[in-house]
Structure 1
Amino acid sequence: MRGCLGYAAAGLGLLLATPALSHPHIFAEARLEIVAADDGTVKELRNVWRFDDVFSSSVLMDFDKNSDLKLDHKELQEIAHTIRESLGDYSYFTFISKDGASSEVAKPDVFNVDYKDNQLLVFFIAKPKTPLKIGGRMNFGVYDPTLYTAIDFAKDSDIVVEGKAFAGCKHTVVRPDPDQVIAQNQSNLTEAFFNDPAGTDMGKLFATRLELTC
Structure 2
Amino acid sequence: MRRATGALLAAAALVAAAPAQAHPHMWIDGEAVLRFDGQGRLEALRERWQFDEMFVAYTTQGLADKKGQLSPATLDRMAREWMGALGEPISHYFTRVAVDGKVVAYAAPRDAKVEWDAKRKTMALVFTLPLQQPVAPGATGVDIDIIDPTYFVAYDFSTAGAVAMDRAPAGCRADYRPPKPLDAALVQQLAAIPADQPDLPEELFAVTKGLTHRIRLTCP
**TM-score bucket of the superposed structures, by smaller chain:** 0.7 to 0.9
What amino acid maps onto 2:8 in structure 1?
A: G
What do the CA deviations read for 1:179-204 (whole angstroms, capped 9, x no partner)? 48x99xxxxxxxx95359xx79x72x
Report if the CA contact (8 A) 1:8-1:26 is conserved: no
User: Is the 1:5–1:59 contact (alpha carbons within 8 Å) kept by the matching residues of 2?
Assistant: no
Distance 1:118 1:66, change over 3 A: closer
Residue 151 in structure 1 maps to residue 155 in structure 2: yes
Unaligned runs of at least 5 residues, structure 2: 12-21, 187-198
Deviation at 1:152, TM superposition (A): 0.9
Amino acid at match of 2:104: S
Identity %, equivalent residues = 23
Relative to the length of structure 2, the TM-score reads 0.71
* 8 Å Cα contact 1:33-1:160 kept in structure 2: yes
Does residue 6 of structure 1 match 2:5?
no
Describe the shift of the 1:55–1:163 C-alpha distance in structure 2 as closer, same or farther (beyond 3 A).
same
Equivalent residue for 1:15? Answer: none
The 5 A counterparts of 1:33-44 are 33-44=33-44
Corresponding position of 1:75: 74
Q: 1:76 to 1:84 in 2, by over 3 A?
A: same
| 3-state SS in 1 of match to 2:69 | coil
Map 1:47-62 onto structure 2 (within 5 A): 47-61=47-61
1:175 shift after superposition: 1.4
Per the TM alignment, residue 168 of structure 1 is displaced from its structure 2 partner at its CA by 3.3
Once the two structures are superposed, what CA deviation does each residue of 1:103-145 show, in whole Å capped at 9, x if it has no partner?
1223212100022111211111111123322222211232224
The residue aligned with 2:105 is 104
Normalising by structure 1, we get a TM-score of 0.73
Secondary structure of the equivalent of 2:161? helix
Give 1:110-121 correspondences, 5 Å limit. 110-116=111-117, 117-121=120-124
Query: Displaced runs of 4+ in structure 1, greater than 4 A?
Result: 65-69
Work out whether residues 46 and 123 of structure 1, in 8 Å CA contact, stay in contact via their aligned partners in 2. yes
Number of matched pairs: 187
Q: Kindly indicate whether the alpha-carbon contact (under 8 Å) linking 1:113 and 1:121 is maintained by their aligned counterparts in 2.
A: yes
Rounded Cα–Cα distance in structure 1 between residues aligned with 2:127 and 2:112: 4
Distance 1:213 1:80 in 2: 32
Q: CA RMSD in A?
A: 3.3
CA separation in 1, counterparts of 2:144 and 2:42? 11
Would the aligned equivalents of 1:93 and 1:144 in 2 still touch at CA under 8 Å?
Answer: yes
